[in-house]
């Protein structure tokens, strides 16, 4: 290994992508995003159902900071993002689905998909990462953006000797699951014209979205988001039983006879209900090894919740910090 070893960013969700773009913008070269899934985007996820499309992770961006507003404005101008609903408090959506936008953001970054990092070990000039396939990747610096519980698993191996305080901070981050029922319907729904409903819903239901009305699907396809408590309470049931239950509780909105097909997405790490008030963690090891992601909130973040904007800010901030550390 030499100075030529890349900067490796584990996880190609919004925080990983923003960390890579920030480093690139600052002139750093040889950056690799490593992602275990088949696509970049993480929780910016879109699934195809027949001829329909469904955003089954994040639905929209909300904006509270100037930096994120400037980013959203740039993409509004380019036509990749548009205003969806809300006047006082705007919600922005991706015009082709969230995942297409993530792909667009990452198009100039070197990405290795379907590569899960299972072990991080020290070497003389940085780190050696081992993949699920047993292959190794050397790195001069590493940013981990996997959700905090998964990041902690990577960091707690004995070889790294990460300070117990850093591991305790990661341990304090608690995520809730979110089960999402995806339904392809024969008939249009009776949801509001913008396709979004998040109030006066039955117990256990967080949000319902009609993607035909949202404007990203040619067919009536809907996603039903269940609360963290509901998702936990139904975790031991089969996918079929969970989908059946979601259909039952949403029968006022979902004409059961109109359902052509259904799928279930189980997010284990959807939203952090306990998060950190630091935009990233530095392990302070000899070579840079930093941890970031949506659960690392800026101390001045007024939203008090994890979301796309917190992932964006964490990614940008950790990228800026790593560039300084590498000087
Ligand atoms: C159902 C749902 C609805 C949501 N709705 C909204 C919304 O409407 N508005 C909003 O602002 N936010 C919403 N969010 C939250 C938002 O999606 C997240 O805050 C944001 O996308 C997190 O980005 P991230 O990069 O921090 O993490 P992620 O997107 O989770 O990215 C982490 C990546 O790391 C990868 N990874 C993990 N471990 C490894 C490994 N060992 N090796 C390689 N890769 C690995 C994962 O596959 C993943 O792609 C929602 C989330 C969910 C789940």
pLDDT of residue 1: 41
User: Does the beta carbon of 34 sit less than 6 angstroms from any atom of ligand 1?
Assistant: yes
* Residues 229 and 252 placed together within one structural domain of the fold: yes
Backbone angles phi, psi at 40, to 5 degrees: -75, 170
Q: Whose CA is nearest to atom 6 of ligand 1?
A: 58
Q: Pick the atom of ligand 1 nearest to 116's CA.
A: 42
* Residues 23 and 128 placed together within one structural domain of the fold: yes
Ligand 1 centroid vs 248 CA: distance in angstroms?
A: 28
Q: Indicate whether this model's pTM tops 0.95.
A: yes
Q: Is the residue at 54 inside a domain?
A: no
Euclidean distance between CA atoms 298 and 142, whole angstroms: 21
* Residues 196 and 247 placed together within one structural domain of the fold: yes
* Residues 234 and 218 placed together within one structural domain of the fold: yes
**Mean pLDDT, to the nearest integer, of 299-327?**
96
pLDDT tens digits, one per residue of 113-165: 999 999 999 999 999 999 999 999 999 999 999 999 999 999 998 789 999 99
* Residues 294 and 263 placed together within one structural domain of the fold: no
* Residues 154 and 201 placed together within one structural domain of the fold: no
Ligand 1 centroid vs 311 CA: distance in angstroms?
A: 8
Q: Pick the atom of ligand 1 nearest to 62's CA.
A: 11
* Residues 261 and 114 placed together within one structural domain of the fold: no
Number of domains in the chain: 2
How does DSSP classify residue 6?
Answer: P
Contacts of 65 (CB under 8 A, 6+ apart): 309, 313
pLDDT tens digits, one per residue of 60-97: 999 999 999 999 999 999 999 999 999 888 999 999 99
User: Does the beta carbon of 306 sit less than 6 angstroms from any atom of ligand 1?
Assistant: yes
User: Does the beta carbon of 47 sit less than 6 angstroms from any atom of ligand 1?
Assistant: no
Sheet of 141-144: strand order equals: 110-112, 31-34, 7-10, 141-144, 289-291, 281-282
Q: Ligand 1 pocket check: which of 9, 39, 43, 93 to mutate, most ligand atoms within 8 Å of Cβ? A: 43
Q: Pick the atom of ligand 1 nearest to 45's CA.
A: 17
* Residues 180 and 247 placed together within one structural domain of the fold: yes
Q: Whose CA is nearest to atom 2 of ligand 1?
A: 57
pLDDT tens digits, one per residue of 94-115: 999 999 999 999 999 999 999 9
Ligand 1 centroid vs 13 CA: distance in angstroms?
A: 6
Pairing of strands 259-274, 126-131: unpaired
* Residues 185 and 251 placed together within one structural domain of the fold: yes
* Residues 180 and 267 placed together within one structural domain of the fold: yes
Q: Ligand 1 pocket check: which of 92, 146, 182 to mutate, most ligand atoms within 8 Å of Cβ? A: 146
Euclidean distance between CA atoms 142 and 151, whole angstroms: 12
Q: Classify 34 as helix, strand or coil.
A: strand
**Radius of gyration over alpha carbons of the chain, in Å?**
20
Domain hosting residue 167, numbered range: 7-41+106-173+275-325
For residue 4, pLDDT beyond 80: no
User: Considering only CA atoms, which of 150, 152, 112 is closest in space to residue 9?
Assistant: 112
User: Considering only CA atoms, which of 290, 292, 262, 265 is closest in space to residue 279?
Assistant: 292
Q: Is the residue at 302 inside a domain?
A: yes
User: Does the beta carbon of 12 sit less than 6 angstroms from any atom of ligand 1?
Assistant: yes
Domain boundary residue among 232, 253, 272?
A: 272
**Mean pLDDT, to the nearest integer, of 31-56?**
95
* Residues 116 and 258 placed together within one structural domain of the fold: no
Q: Pick the atom of ligand 1 nearest to 311's CA.
A: 26
Pairing of strands 136-139, 126-131: antiparallel
Euclidean distance between CA atoms 72 and 199, whole angstroms: 26
Q: Classify 324 as helix, strand or coil.
A: helix
* Residues 37 and 118 placed together within one structural domain of the fold: yes
User: What's the CATH code of the domain at 315?
Assistant: 3.50.50.60
Q: Please report which helix (H) or strand (E) contains residue 208, including its range.
A: strand 205-210
Ligand 1 centroid vs 296 CA: distance in angstroms?
A: 13
Q: Is the residue at 61 inside a domain?
A: no
Q: Is the residue at 288 inside a domain?
A: yes
Reduced 3-state DSSP string for 132-163:
CCCCEEEECEEEECCCHHHHHHHHCCCCCCCC
User: Does the beta carbon of 129 sit less than 6 angstroms from any atom of ligand 1?
Assistant: no
């Amino acid at each position: 290994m030499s100075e030529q070893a890349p900067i490796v960013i584990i996880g190609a969700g919004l925080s990983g992508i923003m960390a890579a773009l920030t480093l690139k913008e600052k002139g750093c070269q040889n950056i690799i995003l490593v992602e275990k899934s088949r696509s970049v985007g993480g929780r910016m996820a879109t699934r195809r159902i027949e001829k329909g499309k469904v955003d089954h992770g994040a639905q929209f961006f909300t904006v509270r900071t100037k930096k994120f507003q400037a980013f959203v404005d740039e993409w509004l101008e380019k036509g990749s993002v548009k205003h969806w609903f809300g006047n006082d408090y705007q919600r922005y959506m991706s015009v082709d689905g969230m995942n297409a936008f993530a792909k667009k953001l990452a198009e100039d970054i070197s990405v290795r998909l379907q590569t899960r990092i299972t072990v991080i070990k020290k070497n003389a000039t940085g780190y050696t990462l081992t993949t699920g396939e047993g292959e190794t990747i050397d790195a001069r610096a590493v940013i981990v953006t996997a959700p905090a519980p998964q990041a902690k698993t990577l960091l707690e191996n004995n070889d790294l000797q990460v300070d117990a305080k850093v591991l305790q901070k990661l341990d304090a981050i608690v995520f809730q699951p979110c089960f999402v029922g995806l339904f392809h319907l024969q008939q249009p729904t009776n949801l509001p014209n913008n396709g979004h409903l998040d109030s006066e819903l039955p117990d256990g239901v967080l949000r319902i979205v009609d993607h035909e009305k949202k404007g990203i699907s040619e067919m009536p396809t809907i996603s039903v988001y269940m609360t963290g408590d509901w998702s936990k309470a139904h975790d031991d049931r089969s996918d079929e039983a969970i989908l059946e239950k979601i259909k039952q509780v949403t029968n006022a909105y979902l004409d059961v006879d109109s359902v052509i097909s259904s799928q279930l997405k189980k997010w284990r790490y959807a939203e952090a209900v306990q998060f950190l008030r630091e935009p990233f963690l530095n392990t302070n090891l000899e070579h840079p090894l930093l941890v970031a992601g949506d659960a690392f909130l800026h101390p001045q973040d007024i939203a008090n919740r994890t979301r796309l904007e917190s992932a964006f800010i964490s990614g940008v901030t950790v990228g800026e910090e790593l560039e300084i550390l590498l000087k």
